Amino acid sequence: MARPLRQQIPVVTALLVIAVLTALFFASRATYDEEIEHLRSETLAMTSVVVAYLERHLETADAVATVVIEDPAVRRLDARAATNVLRPLLQGLNAVMRNAVLADASGRIVAWAVPPVPDVEGQVAPDWLAGVASAGRRSIGPLLGDADDRTHVVVMGYPIAEAGNQAVGMLGVVVHLESLESVLAGIPLPGGSVITISDENGTVVARSLDAGRYVGRPVEGSLDAARPLRRIPPSDVRTGRDGVERVFGNVIVERGPWLASVGIPTSVAAARTGPIFRRNVSITLGALAAILGLSLYFSRSWLAAMDEVARTAERVANGDLSPLEPRDLGAVELNQLRGSIAGMINNLREAREAVSAQMSEERRIREEKESLQRQLIRQERLAAIGVLVSGVAHELNNPLQAILGFAELLQMQEDLPEAVQRDLSLIRRESTRASAIIRNLQRFGRQTTEPSPVRLSDVVASVLELRQRKIGAQSIRLDIEDQSEAVVSAVFTELQQVVLNFVINAEQAVARHDPTRRRIKIRTSDARNSARLEVEDYGDGVQPDDEPKLFQPFFTTKPVGEGTGLGLSVSYGIITSHGGDIGYRRSHHGGALFYFELPTK
């Protein structure tokens, strides 16, 4: 629905600004959320690596315990022999498992693989050792040692049983967690990231960052002893005691059971999306600038449209009915007004064009009538000239025959000088030529309509007798390639007229060019059932737009006064009436090539 212009401009501008800002907000938020999801996947992947590392060490501890328990000296609780068994095994392991303890079923310590650290390993409780022996299953003890000194351990207990599953003691493998923390701290993660290992009670047993503040204390955030490990989500976002919000990936260490968590600060996601956010801000500023520019542009264009409507109305009032260029003025009222004016202009212009077309048609009919009258007068005059020429030729033929006869009689005298003989030969030759010309004039002027056997070479020869001197006077080179021997059934004089039209057109086409291009070729040839004649000139040829109109009546490419436009049209009628084909094509020299073909007898 159309609104006033003063309302449209601010409303559209405000809507566009709101749309751009909304798009910026949602795009930035979507990008940040996508990066958080990426961090979730990243933390889960790193946590799986940490768990694999822990599982490998715990599996190594289980393997060591299995081997040691099977030793007879260990089963006898022989302190010296057990020490000799345990020490070499521990020396071949990594720095995480540094010691082992052997105790009897009551929890009394029998032997250590190496001397224990008094404040850490020495804190192992006899009750716990006795409990492992009586439980008959693998168990992990509580955290021992002071985390502030970076020396804290856990003991992995394995029961030793004789035949009949009677417990005789236990073997404990001591895991030094500060060595494990050093390994965890070496894993490449973004700054501020943390790796935490907590037991099933929710107590931190190892941490890659600030271990002294967290080891031995409840795990930070939402993970605590009240939540079983199996119910811990694989990934979550929580804020730790250090006030840093992190994305955590959580995976259970089955041999613990422990919970391994890798946390990456959410600030990493913000840092990664920062360049995208800055790019979006730049785009937004550009879009807002474009919105303001468009608002200014449209406000000016609409005012200009009003001025244009006023100028259009004034132009129509002054009689200018040229069509309006299609243009959207940006408002319904202006478009409707412009459409009404355009419709009025079209109606007025159509009425004026109809009157003008009617006057032009009447003028064309009058000019065509006058042209037909002139052509009729010309044809009648040519017919009269033809009759006159035929009569004059008949009258001239008699004196020429007399001249020719007396010249032959004089040549029969033997005592004539050689110079006189040459003169008499010239008289005979020119008289014979004049007689042939007169005979062709008689034939051309004769109104013959009955077809007769005709050779194309005879037609060419008769036409050249009439045009040879004209062609020579214009320095035109004439080439004849006469290869036709077939006979066609045609009116000789009509074929003369066709060939004469072709030759005259060729003369006029080359006469205005330099001597190198004043050249005409006439060819005759035979095909299987037809005879063909071609007249080729070295002129400029016919323009492509004029080729379809060459054989139309009253069409000519010659200057005014040099052609009637009927020669080729009449030639077309003559050839088609004989059942032949007539046409034009451009020669490979660039000139014109007119031809016709007639069926042979």
Give the containing element (helix H, strand E) for 98.
Answer: strand 97-104
Q: How would DSSP label each residue in 478-522?
A: EEEEE----EEEE-HHHHHHHHHHHHHHHHHHHTTS-GGG-EEEE
Cα-based distances in Å from 132 to 128, 245, 539: 6, 40, 121
Q: Work out the average pLDDT over 232-241.
A: 82
pLDDT at 569: 80
Highest mean pLDDT among 130-144, 274-288, 393-407, 487-501: 487-501
Q: Which residue has the higher pLDDT, 445 or 518?
A: 518
Quick: pLDDT tens for 323-346.
Answer: 666 666 666 766 777 777 777 778
Cα-based distances in Å from 294 to 2, 13, 284: 19, 9, 15
pLDDT at 366: 82
State how far the Cα of 210 lies from the Cα of 196, in Å rounded to an integer.
11
Quick: pLDDT tens for 500-557.
Answer: 889 988 998 888 888 888 999 999 999 889 999 999 999 888 888 888 777 777 667 6
Closest C-alpha among 538, 531, 528 to residue 575: 531
Domain extent listing, the chain: 6-268, 451-599
State how far the Cα of 505 lies from the Cα of 139, in Å rounded to an integer.
121
Quick: pLDDT tens for 149-166.
Answer: 567 888 888 888 876 677
- Helix crossing, 567-577 with 492-510: angle to 10°? 140
pLDDT at 226: 46
Q: Which CATH number fits domain 451-599: 3.50.50.60, 3.20.20.210, 3.30.43.10, 3.30.565.10?
A: 3.30.565.10
Quick: pLDDT tens for 167-210.
Answer: 888 888 888 877 777 777 777 888 888 888 887 777 788 888 77
Cα-based distances in Å from 96 to 27, 124, 129, 173, 308: 48, 18, 21, 10, 89
Q: Which CATH number fits domain 6-268: 1.10.1760.20, 3.40.50.2300, 1.10.760.10, 3.30.450.20?
A: 3.30.450.20
Closest C-alpha among 113, 105, 102 to residue 74: 102
Q: Work out the average pLDDT over 342-355.
A: 78
Q: How would DSSP label each residue in 530-573?
A: EEEEEEEE-S----TTTGGGTTSTT---SPTTT--S-HHHHHHH
pLDDT at 225: 45
Residue 598: phi and psi, rounded to 5, are -125, 145
Q: CB–CB of 176/206 below 8 Å?
A: no
Prediction pTM value: 0.46
> What percent of the chain shows pLDDT beyond 70?
81
Work out the burial of residue 127: count CB atoms within 10 Å of its CB; fewer than 13 is exposed, 13-18 middle, 19 or more buried.
exposed
- Of the given ranges (60-74, 325-339, 343-357, 431-445), which has the lowest mean pLDDT? 431-445
Q: Which residue has the higher pLDDT, 393 or 25?
A: 25
Q: Does residue 441 have a pLDDT over 70? A: no
Domains 6-268 and 451-599 share a fold: no
Which two structure tokens, joined as six digits, stand for 520? Answer: 């005409």
- Of the given ranges (168-182, 231-245, 380-394), which has the lowest mean pLDDT? 380-394
- Of the given ranges (273-287, 365-379, 497-511), which has the lowest mean pLDDT? 365-379
Q: CB–CB of 342/323 below 8 Å?
A: yes
